[in-house]
Amino acid sequence: MVRLYNDDSLNLHTDLYQINMAKTYWQDGIHERKAVFEVFFRKLPFDNGYAIFAGLERITEYLRDFRFSKEDIQYLRNELGYEEEFLQYLSDLRFTGTVRAMHEGEIVFGNEPMIQVEAPLAQAQIVETALLNIVNFQTLIATKASRIKHVVGDETVMEFGSRRAHELDAAIWGTRAAFIGGFDATSNVRAGKRFGIPVSGTHAHAMVQAYRDDYTAFKKYAESHRDCVFLVDTYDTLKSGVPSAIKVAKEFGNKINFIGIRLDSGDMAFLSKAARKMLDKAGFPNAKIVASSDLDEYTILHLKSQGAKIDVWGVGTKLITAYDQPALGAVYKMVSIEDENGNMQDTIKISSNAHKVTTPGLKNVYRIINMETNKSEGDYIAMRDEDVQSQKELKMFHPVHTYISKVVTHFEARNLLHDIFVNGEFVYKLPSLHEIQGYSRESLAFLWEEYKRSLNPHEYPVDLSQKCWDNKIKNIEEVKQHVKSLSE
Ligand SMILES: Nc1ncnc2c1ncn2[C@@H]1O[C@H](COP(=O)(O)OP(=O)(O)OP(=O)(O)O)[C@@H](O)[C@H]1O
Ligand SMILES: O=P(O)(O)OC[C@H]1O[C@H](OP(=O)(O)OP(=O)(O)O)[C@H](O)[C@@H]1O
Ligand SMILES: O=C(O)c1cccnc1
């Protein structure tokens, strides 16, 4: 088949300015200098108390495949006019850097690196766009899913969003992220095939319309399927939908597995309670009630507070489009760069907003677990040469309001960043998606409930070590001096 679009590589999935900067570095001969960038966001999405890091698997694939194809080079030559020598450099380019990152599914907070890229400057620059693109979306959806799952609790929640997602990629990768965040199943069959996510589904109003009435439609479905969930709200939920479902379930008996019914409109608290009574009375106390229709964590919480008898939740649009916050603002900031003598020098980005000043240098991130409570005291960012675990007492203080502090003893300092690539070599063992979901659940168990509630959660501490803080202040002073000297 002749394809309209030959989407042969992801290397051009970058902003033009990255390639232009790479060209400047290359022409100036500094493209091979080592640079360290960190991926982090400043503000948690949805005013949540935590986020769930997702996207690492796709990033590893992107970096392993990192090469400009012949067609890419041709495009850069013919349409963008780059010169031959630079194009030759680009066509030989492979990712040779070191990447450290959190495990996928890790609980993550503002202002701490989820990923560190330590690579030749030009390479580190070119990969920024794709890395942020992947992490921002997948982390956002995994976090939204986690908020929803937190409200749903032990009941089942299914992902129904593909039809409303922002195109095909978002549906597929959003579904994967939703599973990481705790969703149990998806309606998207391709996501099931590709990622091994359990696939599940009922039927649409169209089928009832096609057969003109509930009873005939359910009967025809029962004749062709063993597992049956009947959608009961096409015409009249309580007068026609539920009675027809019960009638078919009785008629077919053991020939089908009558799982239950689905409600998709109306007052779902009222209808679910009424339907429950009808199902129980008819001898189907185990039949489940599935609900869908513009659900999110808020509606689900409301429905539960009204005593709705809903066992399974189907959530689409508001999850997959991150309806109430359409983007996560993760950024990619340079923290260190090699100088002309081969020494690494810290770099900092200053802002008039204290929260926006970056934290320079080569750092580690630790989760400080209190060994007595087995709960997390906060995250602790230290310089790489610090030995955090061997300290008897750890002073943790707020990175902006430094007078807010506490001393922690009897702790385990868990290093959150793991080697993914070392000098271009892929050294990480990718976990399965089920393992990632399990890991995320375990990570959440270290958080006190105060950080997990969906409304006004406590602010989780992400603190700097004294050394890291001193280094930041020193860098700020140096930059100020430098700027002053230039203006004199
Ligand atoms: N008891 C309830 N309490 C709070 N929210 C509810 C309750 N029942 C339903 N909802 C929510 O209220 C909204 C109702 O949507 P809307 O009025 O647009 O139409 P609908 O009843 O779903 O019907 P249709 O799909 O035919 O337009 C949905 O988001 C639904 O999840
Ligand atoms: O509301 P969401 O959270 O996005 O969940 C998915 C929605 O998609 C379907 O509706 P649609 O009107 O597209 O078709 P159908 O009801 O006829 O199946 C389904 O009935 C849900 O209402
Ligand atoms: O299986 C379902 O019930 C379903 C699937 C996609 C969207 N809405 C509902």
Residue 427 has pLDDT above 80, yes or no: yes
Q: What percent of the chain has pLDDT over 90?
A: 93
For residue 216 the two structure tokens come to 């005939």
Which of 62, 33, 107, 63 shows the shortest CA–CA distance to 422? Answer: 63
Q: Distance between terminal CA atoms of the chain?
A: 66
State whether the beta carbon of 186 lies less than 6 angstroms from ligand 3: no
- What pLDDT does residue 400 have? 86
Contacts of residue 317, Cβ cutoff 8 Å, sequence gap at least 6: 161, 164, 294, 323
Mean pLDDT of the chain: 96
Substitution site in 163, 199, 292 for ligand 3 pocket (most atoms within 8 Å of beta carbon): 292
- If you measure from the C-alpha of residue 268 to the centroid of ligand 1, how many angstroms do you get, rounded to a whole number? 7
**Binding-site residues, ligand 2, Cβ < 6 A:** 160, 163-164, 204-206, 264, 292-295, 314-318
Q: Closest ligand to 273 CA?
A: 1
* Nearest residue by C-alpha to atom 18 in ligand 2: 204
- The CATH code of domain 145-321 reads 3.20.20.70
Note whether 410 and 91 are within 8 A (CB).
no
State whether the beta carbon of 310 lies less than 6 angstroms from ligand 1: no
- What pLDDT does residue 428 have? 98
- Give the span between the Cα atoms of 387 and 218, in whole angstroms: 65
Higher pLDDT, 165 or 399: 165
Substitution site in 175, 292, 317 for ligand 2 pocket (most atoms within 8 Å of beta carbon): 292
- What pLDDT does residue 31 have? 98
Q: Closest ligand to 300 CA?
A: 1
- If you measure from the C-alpha of residue 314 to the centroid of ligand 1, how many angstroms do you get, rounded to a whole number? 13
Q: Boundaries of CATH 3.20.140.10 in the chain?
A: 16-142+332-487
- If you measure from the C-alpha of residue 396 to the centroid of ligand 1, how many angstroms do you get, rounded to a whole number? 47
- Using one digit for the tens of pLDDT, what is the confidence trace for 461-476? 999 999 999 999 999 9
- Using one digit for the tens of pLDDT, what is the confidence trace for 155-177? 999 999 999 999 999 999 999 99
- Using one digit for the tens of pLDDT, what is the confidence trace for 47-101? 999 999 999 999 999 999 999 999 999 999 999 999 999 999 999 999 999 999 9
Note whether 396 and 413 are within 8 A (CB).
no
Residue 132 has pLDDT above 80, yes or no: yes
- What pLDDT does residue 3 have? 81
Ligand 2 atom, smallest distance to 320 CA: 4
* Nearest residue by C-alpha to atom 11 in ligand 2: 204
State whether the beta carbon of 161 lies less than 6 angstroms from ligand 3: no
- If you measure from the C-alpha of residue 160 to the centroid of ligand 2, how many angstroms do you get, rounded to a whole number? 8
- Give the span between the Cα atoms of 73 and 76, in whole angstroms: 5
Please give, one letter per residue, the 3-state secondary structure of the chain: CCCCCCCCCCCCCCCHHHHHHHHHHHHHCCCCCEEEEEEECCCCHHHCCCEECCCHHHHHHHHHCCCCCHHHHHHHHHCCCCCHHHHHHHHHCCCCCEEEECCCCCEECCCCCCEEEEEEHHHHHHCHHHHHHHHHHHHHHHHHHHHHHHHHCCCEEEECCHHHCCHHHHHHHHHHHHHHCCCCEECCHHHHHHHCCCECCCCCHHHHHHHCCHHHHHHHHHHHCCEEEEECCCCCHHHHHHHHHHHHHHHHHHHCEEEEEEECCCCHHHHHHHHHHHHHHCCCCCCEEEEECCCCHHHHHHHHHCCCCCCEEEECHHHHCCCCCCCCCCEEEEEEEECCCCCEEECCCCCCCHHHCCCCCCEEEEEEEECCCCEEEEEEEEECCCCCCCCCCEEEECCCCCCCEEEECCEEEEECCEEEEECCEECCCCCCHHHHHHHHHHHHHCCCHHHCCCCCCCCCCEEECHHHHHHHHHHHHHHHHHHHHHHC
Substitution site in 157, 164, 187 for ligand 3 pocket (most atoms within 8 Å of beta carbon): 187
Which of 60, 17, 9, 39 shows the shortest CA–CA distance to 429? Answer: 60
Q: Closest ligand to 207 CA?
A: 2
Residue 114 has pLDDT above 90, yes or no: yes
- What pLDDT does residue 383 have? 97
ipTM: 0.96
Residue 1 has pLDDT above 90, yes or no: no
Higher pLDDT, 7 or 191: 191
- If you measure from the C-alpha of residue 148 to the centroid of ligand 3, how many angstroms do you get, rounded to a whole number? 17
- Using one digit for the tens of pLDDT, what is the confidence trace for 281-314? 999 999 999 999 999 999 999 999 999 999 999 9
* Nearest residue by C-alpha to atom 24 in ligand 1: 265
- What pLDDT does residue 60 have? 98
Per-residue confidence band for 441, with pLDDT thresholds at 50, 70 and 90? very high
Q: Closest ligand to 318 CA?
A: 2
- Give the span between the Cα atoms of 386 and 465, in whole angstroms: 9
Q: Boundaries of CATH 3.20.20.70 in the chain?
A: 145-321
For residue 452 the two structure tokens come to 């997990």
- The CATH code of domain 16-142+332-487 reads 3.20.140.10
Ligand 1 atom, smallest distance to 295 CA: 31
The residue whose two tokens read 């393992």 is 435
Per-residue confidence band for 399, with pLDDT thresholds at 50, 70 and 90? confident
Higher pLDDT, 353 or 13: 13
- If you measure from the C-alpha of residue 193 to the centroid of ligand 3, how many angstroms do you get, rounded to a whole number? 17
- If you measure from the C-alpha of residue 284 to the centroid of ligand 3, how many angstroms do you get, rounded to a whole number? 23
* Nearest residue by C-alpha to atom 23 in ligand 1: 265
- What pLDDT does residue 353 have? 84
State whether the beta carbon of 237 lies less than 6 angstroms from ligand 1: no
- Using one digit for the tens of pLDDT, what is the confidence trace for 185-244? 999 999 999 999 999 999 999 999 999 999 999 999 999 999 999 999 999 999 999 999
The residue whose two tokens read 């850069």 is 76
- Using one digit for the tens of pLDDT, what is the confidence trace for 230-280? 999 999 999 999 999 999 999 999 999 999 999 999 999 999 999 999 999
Contacts of residue 175, Cβ cutoff 8 Å, sequence gap at least 6: 159, 161, 162, 186, 188, 191, 195, 197, 320
Q: Which of 1-5, 177-181, 358-362 has the lowest mean pLDDT?
A: 1-5
